[in-house]
Each structure stands twice: as C-alpha cells, then as structure tokens.
Amino acid sequence: MIVGIDLGTTHSAIGVVDSGFPILLADEEGKRIMPSVVWFGMDGAVEVGRKALRRQATDARRVVLSVKRWMGADTILENIGKTPDEVSAEILKELKRIAEWRIGAEVTKAVITVPAYFNDAQRAATKRAGELAGLEVARILNEPTAAALAYGLDKLKNKARVAVYDLGGGTFDLTILEMEDGVFQVLATHGDTRLGGDDVDAMICSWLSAGLEIPGYQRWRFLEEAEKAKRALSDLSEFTLRIPFYDGKNSLEKTITRLDLDAMTKGWIARSLKCCQQAMHDSGLSLNELDAVVLVGGSTRMPAVREAVAEFFQCEVDVTQHPDEAIALGATIQAGVMSGAMRKMVLLDVTPLSLGIETFGGLMNVLISRNTTIPCKAGEMFTNAADSQEKMAIRVLQGEREMARDNWELGKFEVMMEKLPKGHARVGVQFRIDADGILEVLARDTKTGKDTVINIASSAVNVDDAAVEEMVSASVEHAFEDMSERIFTEAKLKADELLPAVEMIMAQGLVEEHERGEIEAAVKEVKATMASGAANALKVAVQRLDSATEAAAARLVEKAMEEALERELGL
Ligand code: AMP
C-alpha cells in the first residue's frame, strides 16, 4: 500500500486507494484537510494541525506556519531550533498517524507532491522530511500533474496540453503540461510564492480596521473574521463582520459586499494573470492550443478569480473537483497506480457493449450482454445449418443491433467439425473476458472434442465513449425495425424447416382427413406472409402451421420409433 500526500503551504491532506477508488482520509474530527501548522512546546511536546493553530492565540512564537516556504534552505528556525524538513516531518507524521488510524494498518510508503518550480534541493528536503517521518518516498510528484490526474486529464489524447491554475493560501503558480506517452511533462511554469488567499484576508483586515486602534494581540481575531467574510462572499453577495470587544470595551460591526471584495482584489488577481501570461509566453503556445484549463487551490473558489481566469484563457475552466482536495486526490491516484491498487479498478469495469456471434439468418446472438462486470464468461451451443457441413464460421461481434451486419466485427475464424446431418452437430462457443478486458473465444466440437481458441486483439472493454454512445443510440433509434427483422428472420428459419417437413408428412400419409384442411390453409398463409415480409403475421402463421401439424408430427416420431424397434428386433 502506498499513500498519497499533498504537503501544502497552508494545508495538507492524505489519501489512499480503497477498493479501486481514491479517497482522502479524515481525522478524528471528520476533517480531510489539515492546516500545515506545527507547535513546539517548551517541554518538547508537539502539536500539529488545528490544535497547533489554536496555540497561535496564546503562544504564537512557538507556532510554525508555512514551513514549506523554507524547504531546501539551510536554516534553523528561530525560537524552535529545528530545520524546515524536521518541521515538515511533524506534519507528515501526523498525516501518517491519521492514515494508520483510519486504515488500521502500518503506512510505510508515500507519494508526496511539490510545486513544479521546486528545485533539486527543495525536492530532496521534501524527501528527507518523508524519511524523518518514517515514510519511504515512492515518488515526488509535481502538484499540477497531481491536479491533472485528479481531473482525469491523463485520459486526454497524446500531446494534449493543459494549464493548471493553482491559487492557494500563500502561493500561486500556473503550469502548462503536455501529455507525452501517458506521462505529463512540464512545458512551462510561472508563479509567485508571495501571492495567495492570505493577501485577501489582509486586505479585508485593513479595510475593517481602518482608523481603529487595535491591540497587537487582537489582530488574529480580525484576520480570522476577514477570512470568514472572504469565504462567505464566495457564495453570498454580502456578509457582516462582527468583532465584539476588540479592545476590551468597543465592538465592531461592518458589512462587506461581493462588489467591495471584487474591487479590492482586482489588482491581486491581475498579478496572477501576469504570471499566466509569462508562462504562456515561455511555453510558446497560443491559447487555442490548450485542451483544458483546471483550477486548484482554495482561493479559486472566489467567483472573481474563476471569471478572470476564464476570460484570460478564453475558455470554460474545469472546476468539477474540490479545489483544495484535487492535489491530494491526484497524489493518491498516482500512489494507487504505483502500488497496483488502482489497476484493481479494472475488476469493476464493465463491458460497454454486448458481445456475441452471428448465427443463422445473419442474426446477432448475444453471449455477454452490455454492462456485464468483468472478468466474466458465458457460453452457448450451436449446430450446423446444412447437411455434412465441414466447418462453421464464427464471427465475433460487438454491438447492440439485432442484425449481425449492423454490429462491429471483432474477429472471425472457422471451426472444423465432423460431417453430420443438418442440426446434429454440437459446437460449444465460450467467451471469456479477463480482468484486463481481453476477450478469448473458444469453440469446441463436442463430438471430436477439438478446441479452437482465439484471442481478440481489440479490447472488449476499452471502447471509445463516443462510439459506444453512437452504437447505443442507433440501437434505440432502430429498435422497431431491428426487432421486426429479427422476428421475421427467426420465423422464416422456422418456416424453412417446417414446410419441407409438412410436405413429407403429407406424402407419407400421416395426415388424417379432418386435419388436412387446416394444414393446407396454414401452409398457404405461411407462404403468403413470407412473401409479404410481414414479421408478426409470419410468426403467427408459423405458429398456426406448427400446431396444425402437431398430431401428425407425433405420428411421424412414433412411426420412426416403431421402425427402429422392428429393425433392432430383426422383424
Ligand atoms: P489551499 O492552500 O489550497 O488550501 O488554499 C487555502 C486558501 O483558500 C486560503 O487562503 C483560504 O482562505 C482560501 N479559501 C478556502 N475556501 C475558500 C472560499 N470558499 N472562498 C475563498 N477563499 C477560500
């Protein structure tokens, strides 16, 4: 098992692939996102996350925030006496503890994300932090790549280009990736390590406290309320900030609107767009060469940010993932792919279209129907259509249409069989789809026991979504004609068998006088409906002929048995 970790500047998260699905793990409070904050007590005690954040009010000097900014630097942090990787290790240890508690097993391996612009020293420091926390770092993954994985962009075509706009609490970066043989390459990245949601909190805070005397130790309350207002304005058009007794006697109440915030943050957003411009320039691409633009980082929840980015890139931006969970989710997917846990997902895969073979009259005979969970197998017995047939052609088909010609042919082969009268041969055909979606077709002549096995090269599971959709909608569109053609074909096959048999029964004098009229009328009706092509009418006529000749057919069987018995007894 390998876990995926987003070791962020302001927040961190951990996930694992469970039953083929990537999930983020929540702590005891049910929170999947943990503040990247560590408090080091004088006595050596350590607290991480929300607990450490609470210490900010009482013991700010011993609280470390945004340690990621220091990664790779050869420094000892003031007041704390620790290196940045040692502090990061505490965050990782806490995440590891949460994961082990949730999973109920030891966690030893991790994929950890870093910004695309991190240099070797910063990456090495991150790896070291992992090792200090007791984690073997299976891979250091670029954050924009993780985001692209979370958005499922690895399924885009080769050479697809995506832009990842990541605006978090304290940092911003824009990365342009290009898909190369299933792996994302960084084409360009540009950012600002001093641009993030914290700036907005500070802006609201100074707007709020303008002209007021605020004691230094109360400042965190203003910041907290400012952040609350900012978040609220992502959904609401106005919010009232309240800070009771901020200086012991006075209270503050002030309403801020979305428009106020938009005006305040215009320049701040423009700074991020300048980085986008630079990155686009460095990549040498024009805007219309991008296949997707995705947003990550909590600050991209701000409507003004979304609008500005969409306008800059002149396209719709994908915001379908939780902006603050996307990177951890992508790291988890990467971890799952590396450990093999993600591949198990194939087990839950289903056949997108039905699979079968062509039978008499050009009909599709389904062996495995659409949406069957793989791996799976199914089989059926078939017989010869003509006397002394030497071989049977097996056409493997995929699709939802009733007639073989309207489905896709996946493969074709022949089975040799013993020469027998029509309808006497027995050929078993079995379809087997393994966990990788490979279809194996086995055909066996039960008389000789000889097998013919072929593997179908094109996948029975990986079918282009658009093609599946087209096939399914064609089957719906043609449902009536298709069904009527099947009914007609089946009835005609039956009629082709019945008519000569009826002739023989009549010639052998097995028909009684009172039956003759009905039989002759039924024969006439079958021939007429067959010529007219009316499916249901033919079906009814065939049924009529079948029941009209039932008694005579029974007499034929009886006679044949008597003859056989006489032969056996030598009479
Ligand atoms: P991250 O570093 O990606 O976790 O982003 C954290 C930043 O996103 C912080 O500055 C948060 O205040 C900000 N943020 C989180 N939720 C929202 C929201 N609903 N609206 C605006 N900003 C938000």
Instruction: Write the DSSP string, 290-351.
Output: -SEEEEESGGGGSHHHHHHHHHHHTSPPB--S-TTTHHHHHHHHHHHHHHTTTGGGGGG-B-
Alpha carbon distance 176, 538 (integer Å): 65
Are residues 22 and 336 in contact, defined by beta-carbon separation less than 8 angstroms? yes
- Alpha-carbon distance of 229 to 408, in angstroms, equals 58
Fold for 479-569, please state it.
Answer: Substrate Binding Domain Of Dnak; Chain:A; Domain 2 (1.20.1270)
Mutation test of ligand 1: which of 5, 7, 9, 10 has the most ligand atoms closer than 8 Å to its C-beta? 10
CB 49 within 8 A of CB 133: no
* 6 given a catalytic annotation: yes
Four-CA torsion 95, 99, 100, 102, nearest 10 degrees: 140
CATH of domain 3-196+267-350: 3.30.420.40
Tokens of 394: 């097996």
Name the DSSP letter for residue 34. Answer: E
Angle separating helix axes 479-507 and 550-569, nearest 10 degrees: 50
> Angle, nearest 10°, between helix axes 197-209 and 219-232?
110
pTM value is 0.64
Degrees to nearest 5, angle at CA 216 with 297 and 231: 25
Q: Which atom of ligand 1 is nearest to the CA of 10?
A: 2
Q: Which amino acid, residue 417?
A: M
Measure 542 CA to ligand 1 centroid, in angstroms: 73
In angstroms, the first-to-last Cα distance of the chain is 79
Catalytic entry in 6, 47, 324, 325: 6
CA of 302 from ligand 1 middle (Å) equals 8
Whether 434 is a known active-site residue: answer no
CB 6 near ligand 1, within 6 Å: no
> Is the shortest distance between the CB of 32 and ligand 1 below 6 Å?
no
| 3-class DSSP assignment, residue 110 | strand
Is 496 in the active site?
Answer: no
Domain 197-266 has CATH 3.90.640.10: yes
| pLDDT value at residue 506 | 87
- 166 close to ligand 1 (CB < 6 Angstrom): no
* Gap from CA of 297 to ligand 1 centroid (Å): 7
Provide the pLDDT for residue 458.
Answer: 65
Q: Is there an atom of ligand 1 within 6 Å of 7 CB?
A: no
Catalytic, out of 27, 68, 178, 400: 68
Q: Is 301 in the pocket of ligand 1 (CB under 6 A)?
A: yes
Task: Quote the ligand 1 centre to 451 CA distance (angstroms).
Answer: 63
Q: Which of 166, 227, 324, 482 is catalytic?
A: 166
Residue type for position 492 = K
Rounded to whole angstroms, what are the CA distances from 375 to 15, 368, 429, 443, 461? 28, 11, 17, 19, 10
Which of 85, 143, 325, 358 is catalytic? The answer is: 143
- Residue 107: partners with Cβ closer than 8 Å, 6 or more residues away: 1, 3, 96, 99, 100, 135
Q: Which of 37, 201, 324 to mutate to test the pocket of ligand 1 (most atoms within 8 A of CB)?
A: 324
Q: Do domains 3-196+267-350 and 197-266 have the same CATH topology?
A: no
Q: How far apart are CA 119 and CA 283, in angstroms?
A: 19
Give the ligand 1 atom nearest the CA of 324: 3
Q: Does residue 356 have its Cβ closer than 6 Å to ligand 1?
A: no
pLDDT at residue 215 in the model? 84
The response to whether residue 65 sits with its C-beta less than 6 Å from ligand 1 reads no
CB atoms within 10 A of CB 71: 24
CATH of 355-470, one of 3.40.50.300, 1.20.1250.30, 2.102.10.10, 2.60.34.10: 2.60.34.10
Whether the CB of 399 sits within 6 Å of ligand 1: no
Q: What is the pLDDT of residue 459?
A: 66
CA of 201 to the centre of ligand 1 (A): 10
> Is the shortest distance between the CB of 8 and ligand 1 below 6 Å?
yes
User: What is the rounded distance in angstroms from the CA atom of residue 363 to the CA atom of residue 269?
Assistant: 62
From residue 393, alpha-carbon distances to 399, 490, 533 in Å are 19, 19, 27
Residues 6 or more apart whose Cβ sits within 8 Å of residue 284: none
Give the residue whose CA is nearest to atom 14 of ligand 1. 298
- Answer yes or no: are the C-beta atoms of 502 and 494 closer than 8 Å: no
Residue 327 makes CB contacts below 8 A (sequence gap 6+) with 6, 8, 13, 113, 143, 146, 147, 150, 166, 296
Cβ neighbours for 149, distance < 8 A, ≥ 6 positions apart: 329, 330, 333, 334
With a 6 Å cutoff on the Cβ, whether 22 touches ligand 1 is: no
Report, in angstroms and rounded to the nearest whole number, the Rg of the chain calculated over CA atoms: 37
Give the HSE-up count for residue 330: Cα atoms under 13 Å, Cβ half-sphere: 29
Backbone angles phi, psi at 34, to 5 degrees: -115, 130
Q: Does 173 contact ligand 1 (Cβ within 6 A)?
A: no
Q: Measure 33 CA to ligand 1 centroid, in angstroms.
A: 11
Closest CA to 167 of 37, 299, 349: 299
Q: How far apart are CA 53 and CA 34, in angstroms?
A: 10
- For residue 231, report the distance from its CA to the centre of ligand 1, in Å: 7
Domain range list for the chain:
3-196+267-350, 197-266, 355-470, 479-569
Q: Which of 5, 53, 68, 299 to mutate to test the pocket of ligand 1 (most atoms within 8 A of CB)?
A: 299
Is the Cβ atom of 15 under 6 angstroms away from ligand 1?
no
Could you confirm whether 143 is annotated as catalytic? yes
Per-residue pLDDT of the chain (571 residues; tens, 9 = 90+): 999 999 999 999 999 998 888 999 999 999 999 999 999 999 999 999 999 999 988 899 999 999 999 999 989 998 899 999 999 999 999 999 999 999 999 999 999 999 988 888 899 999 999 999 999 999 999 999 999 999 988 878 888 999 999 999 889 999 999 988 778 888 899 989 889 999 999 999 999 999 888 888 888 889 999 999 999 999 999 999 999 998 888 999 999 999 999 999 999 999 999 999 999 999 999 999 999 999 999 999 999 999 999 999 999 988 888 999 999 999 999 999 889 887 644 334 678 889 999 988 899 999 998 878 777 889 999 888 888 888 888 999 999 999 999 999 988 888 888 888 888 888 899 999 876 677 889 998 888 888 888 888 666 777 777 888 888 889 888 888 899 999 999 999 999 989 998 998 888 888 888 989 999 999 999 999 999 988 999 999 999 999 999 888 888 888 888 888 888 887 6
